[in-house]
């Protein structure tokens, strides 16, 4: 059965187990897309803002902005993220700043208080980090909406790359990596010796250029130029490849048979479109905005997946 509880603080490593009583009063935050039918699901209701409302980091203020191109819903079409006691940041082509006093005067303004107070400073710090990089700012807000706060605690949307001094060190980590995997985990890869892999990764705002899916029993399925295939996990057991495992805690388990059948039925081509990925990377590098959640990095930047481990 798929483990639906959040991963340990140091995924993939042999951390000691804590006594069960230590977590009796803890609140667990499950990242991922929310299922309204889940009995554990708690909807966060927005509150009406008045001139006396106290706004704090990382409150999210919903309001009407006549210059926003976002489709209006229930009288609002913009959202601003409070980053300190004076201002909030919002995205409208570029990242803009608006004072909290001005927000309080917006007639339809609502506030959503969803980010836990201890985590708020880390989230605010990353939003400020991307103040002048609107595309990355937008990606960071995806993680907020998915309640996926681990990247904010580390300060990076992607985990830093790893390196090894010896082969023994690498193979030891590979063994830990294998033990951390569960069926349906997504495995994102990067070929350090491939120019195409580098262009795809660079052009899509991240470190990866390909994605495979873990089946179990040390096997994966993936899409290549010839179509879908099932191969051993050891196909990527080489220091040539960077491999990172991510897990989606917010969706139901999907078998590899179902996933492969769905891909075969819906894909426009029988295999992976490397040429299309290459051209997308080139276009993005020269100015096009990368928004597709179907590229490897785009899938991660949608915010729903939780990083587990890498090698």
Q: Give the number of C-alpha atoms closer than 13 A to the C-alpha of residue 48, restricted to the C-beta side.
A: 5
70 vs 289, more confident: 70
Number of neighbours of residue 206 by Cβ within 10 angstroms: 22
With CA atoms as reference, report the closest residue to 64 among 93, 85, 92. 92
Three-class DSSP category at 120: helix
Question: Which domains, and CATH codes, for the chain?
Answer: 47-154 (no CATH), 167-310 (3.90.1720.10)
pLDDT interval class at 279 (50, 70, 90): low
In this prediction, residue 75 carries a pLDDT of 84
Task: Dihedral sign for Cα 36, 40, 41, 45, please.
Answer: positive
| Tens-place pLDDT, residues 81-139 | 999 999 999 999 999 999 999 999 998 899 999 899 999 999 999 999 999 999 999 99
The percentage of residues in the chain with a pLDDT greater than 90, rounded to a whole number, is 59
In this prediction, residue 275 carries a pLDDT of 52
Number of neighbours of residue 43 by Cβ within 10 angstroms: 6
Residue 139 and residue 301 in contact, taking contact as beta carbons nearer than 8 Å: yes
Residue the block writes with tokens 């993220």: 81
Strands (E), the chain: 47-48, 60-63, 78-82, 87-92, 94-99, 110-112, 186-191, 210-216, 219-224, 227-232, 241-247, 306-310
* pLDDT of 38 over the 90 cut: no
Task: Dihedral sign for Cα 215, 184, 159, 296, please.
Answer: positive
In this prediction, residue 45 carries a pLDDT of 83
Q: Name the burial class of residue 73, with classes exposed (0-12), middle (13-18) and buried (19+) by CB atoms within 10 angstroms of its CB.
A: exposed
pLDDT interval class at 1 (50, 70, 90): very low
In this prediction, residue 276 carries a pLDDT of 55
Residue the block writes with tokens 């995924």: 11
pLDDT interval class at 71 (50, 70, 90): confident
* pLDDT of 272 over the 60 cut: no
Residue 78 and residue 62 in contact, taking contact as beta carbons nearer than 8 Å: yes
């Amino acid at each position: 059965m798929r483990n639906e509880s959040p991963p340990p603080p140091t995924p993939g490593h042999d951390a000691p187990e804590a006594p069960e009583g230590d977590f009796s009063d803890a609140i667990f935050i499950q990242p991922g897309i929310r299922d309204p039918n889940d009995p554990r699901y708690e909807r966060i209701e927005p509150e009406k803002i008045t001139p006396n409302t106290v706004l704090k980091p990382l409150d999210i203020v919903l309001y009407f902005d006549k210059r926003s191109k976002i489709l209006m819903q229930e009288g609002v079409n913009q959202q601003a993220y409070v980053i300190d006691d004076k201002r909030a940041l919002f995205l409208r082509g570029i990242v803009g700043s608006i004072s909290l006093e001005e927000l309080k005067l917006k007639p339809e303004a609502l506030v959503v208080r969803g980010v836990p107070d201890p985590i708020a400073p880390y989230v605010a710090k990353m939003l400020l980090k991307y103040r002048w990089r609107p595309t990355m700012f937008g990606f960071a807000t995806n993680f907020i909406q998915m309640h996926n706060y681990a990247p904010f605690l580390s300060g990076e949307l992607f985990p830093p790359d790893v390196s090894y001094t010896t082969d023994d060190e690498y193979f030891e980590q590979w063994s830990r990596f294998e033990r951390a995997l569960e069926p349906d985990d997504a495995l994102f890869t990067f070929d350090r010796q491939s120019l195409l892999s580098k262009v795809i990764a660079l052009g899509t705002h991240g470190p990866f250029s390909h994605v495979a899916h873990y089946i179990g029993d040390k096997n994966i399925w993936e899409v290549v130029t010839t179509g879908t295939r099932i191969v051993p996990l050891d196909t990527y057991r080489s220091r040539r490849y960077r491999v990172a495992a991510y897990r989606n805690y917010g969706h139901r388990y999907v078998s590899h048979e179902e996933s492969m059948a769905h891909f075969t039925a819906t894909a426009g081509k029988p295999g992976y479109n490397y040429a299309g990925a290459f051209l997308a990377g080139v276009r993005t590098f020269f100015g096009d905005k990368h928004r597709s959640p179907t590229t490897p990095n785009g899938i991660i930047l949608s915010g729903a997946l939780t990083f587990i481990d890498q090698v």
